[in-house]
Structure 1
Amino acid sequence: MGGTGLENLILQDARTETITTPYGVVTVDIGHFGGQNAPLVFMSRHGKGHTLPPHLVNYRANIWALQELGVRKIIATAAVGSLASRLQLGDIVLMDQFLDFTKSRPHTFYEGGEQGVLHVDMTEPYCKSLQAVIRVAGEAVGVPLEEGATYVCTEGPRFETPAEIRMYQMLGGECVGMTSVPEVVLAKECGMCYATIGMITNEAAGIADHPLTHEEVIVSMKATGKTVAQLIQETFRILRPEQDCRCQLGNSEVGKF
């Protein structure tokens, strides 16, 4: 799952498919990398041409569509701003935890009634097993990875104030973005493995010495996109479809609370 900056992720024999879900219609590209038998699904989170702001992304439709297609493992890319001195412009980072500051987004598939109720376990929101494969891929292609970051997810589409950034830093946040939640939560509810590769595209408000712009983010993502595409291709080259983690048990306790 990604968007701007991943133009270098080239699928062979690609086709576009439209999936109708209970939450809306989703369009994806399905194809292969060289030598791979298993198909790869690419989803542009913000729609073709980046037409959807983060607070209006149909996260439930997106994850439901991937489930309908049989996807079990999701690698998501995200542009993030740095809140920590160890994370510099152009760095690539694996997320470990998140802090949720979104406000208006549906966060669950389980809203009672026939669906039941699910209090999904988020002890490990980002799959450690999938991250281990990404780490091996990074070593193989010479892409250094920063690890163990806490992602602060804000509502958007505005950037944050310096006061908010100081608060996030006090709470332990190291990078800030607008898309990981509820995407990671919904994937967990569907029993999917999910990992986020963050691209540090800017310093946050109050840290940067210039006004923040969306154009700055786009330029930075395109500069890092080729490296991330290489990392993703190597990850899928060595990734196995079997789940060897607890992610698949994410919805096993529906209705038991």
Structure 2
Amino acid sequence: MTVYAIIGGTGLTQLDGLTITAALNLDTPYGAPSAPVLRGEYAGREVLFLARHGHPHRIPPHQVNYRANLWALKAAGAQAIVAVNAVGGIHEAMGTGHFCVPHQAIDYTSGRAHTFYEGELEHVTHVDFSHPYDAKLREMLCAALASEGCAHSTHGIYGCTQGPRLETVAEIARMERDGCDIVGMTGMPEAVLARELALPYACLALVVNPAAGKTTALITMAEIERALDEGMGKVKSVLARVLAG
């Protein structure tokens, strides 16, 4: 039976309902992960959970140790990963509270440690990243969203920015021209590191605010927190259905 790992983003620093059997403080060649890897039972299944930004939420997107996080999950026995991401909506369909299961990604980040293949190598390694998200996991997430009655899109392009600041109107306009449907700050290099470790990976994105220029109002943290509070219950139901399935 597949051992799933859940990476919780903003709004999901802990997984209510997880019966914890172990908190693993794992050492990795890349330093310490964001938080202990929690092993436990959720929806009747063994599951691993890692808070991407730490618990409490304290690590900004550009300082997350993505390599340590992915390495630790693999070392703990993860066989597939579902990543939960809070994002901004660019496409008109991506309103606040909408879910997206992206099928593609564009990386706008810089300066992040984005590969395991560097340093004193015996040979150069390239991984195929044509399709960054695992098709089977994406299908499972889409089916769970439909069963839960959640408004969602089964496809989308995730644009990953550096953060921690939000984007300018001009940057979002550029991203829209590039084809991006949603914008976040943590989707990369997480996805490619999972691919390098041969871990199937998919993203469950919850839209928590309109992107810059998509509303006349200022984007406030209070607005984002309200959307997170309203959406995380649905996220947990979707995750439970995926694991039970």
TM-score under structure 2 length normalisation: 0.91
8 Å contact from structure 1 (residues 110, 116) kept in 2: no
In the alignment, what sits opposite 1:31?
40
The partner residue of 1:192 within 182, 189, 199 is: 199
Provide the secondary structure at the position in 2 that maps to 1:95.
coil
Letter matched to residue 224 of structure 2 = V
Structure 1 residue runs of 5 or longer lacking an equivalent are 239-257
The Cα shift of 1:220 comes to 1.0
In the alignment, what sits opposite 2:118?
111
In the alignment, what sits opposite 1:5?
11
The partner residue of 2:89 within 82, 88, 91 is: 82
8 Å contact from structure 1 (residues 79, 217) kept in 2: no
The partner residue of 1:61 within 63, 68, 72 is: 68
The Cα shift of 1:234 comes to 0.7
The Cα shift of 1:118 comes to 1.9
The Cα shift of 1:148 comes to 1.2
Aligned equivalents of 2:151 and 2:80: distance in 1? 22
RMSD of Structure 2 on Structure 1 (CA): 1.5
Count residues with an aligned counterpart: 236
Identity of aligned residues (%): 37
Further displaced range: 56-65 or 66-75: 66-75
Aligned equivalents of 1:115 and 1:234: distance in 2? 43
Aligned equivalents of 1:13 and 1:101: distance in 2? 36
The partner residue of 2:184 within 177, 182, 186 is: 177
Aligned equivalents of 1:221 and 1:46: distance in 2? 15
Letter matched to residue 95 of structure 2 = Q
Provide the secondary structure at the position in 1 that maps to 2:145.
helix
TM-score under structure 1 length normalisation: 0.87
Q: Does 1:234 align with 2:241?
A: yes
The Cα shift of 1:213 comes to 2.6
8 Å contact from structure 2 (residues 43, 240) kept in 1: no
In the alignment, what sits opposite 1:212?
219
Aligned equivalents of 1:100 and 1:112: distance in 2? 22
In the alignment, what sits opposite 2:4?
none
